[in-house]
Structure formats: structure tokens, C-alpha cells
Amino acid sequence: MKKLLAASIVLVVLIGTAVLVAVYQFSNLAVERDTVLQYTVEPGMTLSDVAGDLEDRGVVRHAILFELLARYRGVGHGINAGRYEIESYMDAGQILSMLVEGKIVVNRVNVPEGLTIPETARILQARIGIDSTAFVQRSVDPEAVRSLGIEAPTLEGYLYPATYNMYPDMTVDDILKQLTSRHLQTITEEYRKRAEELEYSLHEIVTLASIIEQEAMVDDERDVISGVFHNRLRRGMRLEADPTVQYGIGRPNMRLYEKHLSHPSPYNTYVHAGLPPGPICSPGEASIHAALYPEDVPYLFFVARGDGRHIFSETNREHNRARAQVRRQRN
């Protein structure tokens, strides 16, 4: 009996020593590196898969010790799928904690108001490396548009401007769903009823909102500009909005000359009465609200002063005087 007890004590001491040695080894388990490693844990990967992969990539020295560390902490089944950044300073314990806590790489991406599909694609390509060509192609694919619940020919106008959490492993379809879902959330039941009261479809409201987005440089003029457009639409007047010409030419924000105003585009509101076929950019919530709730104003015209604000006029004679005033100030 005494021999058995002595043997048990020796075994405990040996196990304790082995644990201490292992703990010491854990502290030196990670391989020193000079660069940040982008590492992806694919769905379905086990602890053994991850440990072996980290060893193969030269992140840890011994896969078996990394597994032992995880099991010692009781997190053998707690590895989360996702894309991670393994910093050069991280030891094995920090790497394991990051994988267990799911601290995946997050990019905060701001999509500003007033962007077209190609402009949005370029921002996303720069920020998270998506294929901008594929993004544009999917945005104008009727099947993809329908699958996202958007009742329009393309996603122009429906890639809602906001700041998003995006991840490096997101697909083009993931991102399109993220942006269009925010748009759909913005269109409340109140907005739908208001559009019906105005006898406009939601697509027409988004189209008008996109023009307001491009014209309004300061927030306190947004509802007034909307009021001007509503007045002109009620009277059957052409909107004569410069941004629609620029969009039709394919060069948003280009400088326009008289020759451009007769450009043969269905979006050219100097040539065609009513609203253009669709949005010319993605409007923010403020412009959508303005399109639905225009200010009751007597104006039919406005001209940009050059400082972000506009001069509003009730008659064409007043408008021509305002234009002449702006030209003199610019010269």
C-alpha cells in the first residue's frame, strides 16, 4: 500500500513537472515574426486543423502544444471561423484568445451620400479589396436586383449611404445585401403611405431624392429644392437639373457648357419632361425625406451662387437676373 502511495506521489510530481514545462513551452510557442499575418479560419475547421495550419505557416512551433494549450484552457471546441490579423507581438496565448473570442478583422467603411454604382465600387475596392468590376456587374444584373427585394432595373440609388462594418472575406453579394438592406429599412410604412398620397411610386421618390441629393449642398435648402422640383413637376415643366445631364453623359460633376444641355440621354431633364428613368446616385435619408415632404414654396427656379447655396426665384425674369448676378460675381 505504501509503495502504491509513493508511486502515486511520484506520478503526480512528474505530471506537475510536465505541466510546468509545457506552460514554459507555451510562453515560447509562437514564432517571432516581423509582419502581420492575415489568417482565415474556414467554417468547419477543427482545433487540430487550425493548430496544424498555424505550424505549417510558421506561426507556432508545435501544433500539439498549441492544442494542449487550448484543451488546458477548456476551449478545445471554441475556435471561431473568420478572418484574423495575427500581429507580430502576439504569443500563443494571445493568438488562441483572439481565435476563441472571435476578434475578426473589421473594416469601418463609409459610403457617402450621392455616389453612383461605379463610385461606390471604387471605394469598396480601395477599402476591402473587392472586385469593382464584379460589383458593378452584379449591381445591374436584373436577377441579382430582384433577389435583394429591390423593385428597380438596377441598384442605382439603392446602395444606401452609411458607415458599415465590413470584413475582408465578404463577397460582392454579401456587400450588396448589406447596403440594400439598409435602404429597405429606411423606407418605413409612413414613407410608403406618403408616396401613395403624392401619387408617386417609391422608385420615383428615390429618383427625385437622388436629384435633390446632387443639388443640395446645405441641409437647410434640401426641402426648398424639393419644393421647387415638385412645383415644376405639377406644372409639367422640365426639371432642367444639371446633375441629370452629367449622369447621362457618364461624368458626374463635370463642368457643363451650353452644348451639353441638348445631349441625347433619357436622363437629360433639359430635353425630357418629368423624372428621369431612375436615380442618378444613392440619396441619403435626408434627401428621401425631402422628396416626400417638400417645403411649400412659391419658387420655380434656382441657381447656384457658387458658395454651396442657391438663389431661388418665382419667375423666369427673376431667375435670369439671378443668373446674371452670379455670373458677375464669378467674373
Assess whether the region 25-101 and the region 107-186 belong to the same CATH fold.
Answer: yes
Given a cut of 50, the residues of the chain with pLDDT beneath it are: 10, 12-14, 16-17, 20-21, 23-27
pLDDT tens, residue by residue, 263-272: 999 999 999 9
Which set of grid coordinates corresponds to residue 277? 428613368
Rounded Cα gap, residues 181 and 178, in angstroms: 5
- CA–CA gap between residue 123 and residue 118 (Å, rounded): 9
CATH 3.30.1490, domain 107-186, yes or no: yes
CB-based contacts of 2: which residues, under 8 Å, 6+ apart?
A: none
Alpha-carbon span 158 to 206, nearest angstrom: 8
Q: Residue 297, class by beta-carbon neighbours within 10 Å (0-12 exposed, 13-18 middle, 19+ buried)?
A: middle
Pairwise CA distance, residues 144 & 176, whole Å: 9
Distance between CA atoms of residues 331 and 323, nearest Å: 12
- Residues 6 or more apart in contact with residue 243 via CB below 8 angstroms: 211, 214, 215, 252, 280, 281
At 14 the pLDDT is 47
Q: Residue ranges of the domains in the chain?
A: 25-101, 107-186, 200-297
Contacts of 264 (CB under 8 A, 6+ apart): 271
pLDDT at 322: 94
Please, how many CA atoms are within 13 Å of residue 252, restricted to the half-sphere of its CB? 16
- How is the chain split among helix, strand and coil, in percent rounded to 5? 55, 10, 40
User: Is the pTM higher than 0.85?
Assistant: no
DSSP state of 256: P
* CA atoms within 13 A of residue 219's CA, in its CB half-sphere: 5
Cell of 240: 432642367
Distance CA 45, CA 151 (A): 39
Query: What was the pLDDT predicted at 8?
Result: 55
Per-residue confidence (pLDDT) for residue 105, from 0 to 100: 76
CATH class, domain 25-101, is alpha beta
Structural contact between residues 208 and 307, judged by C-beta atoms closer than 8 angstroms: no
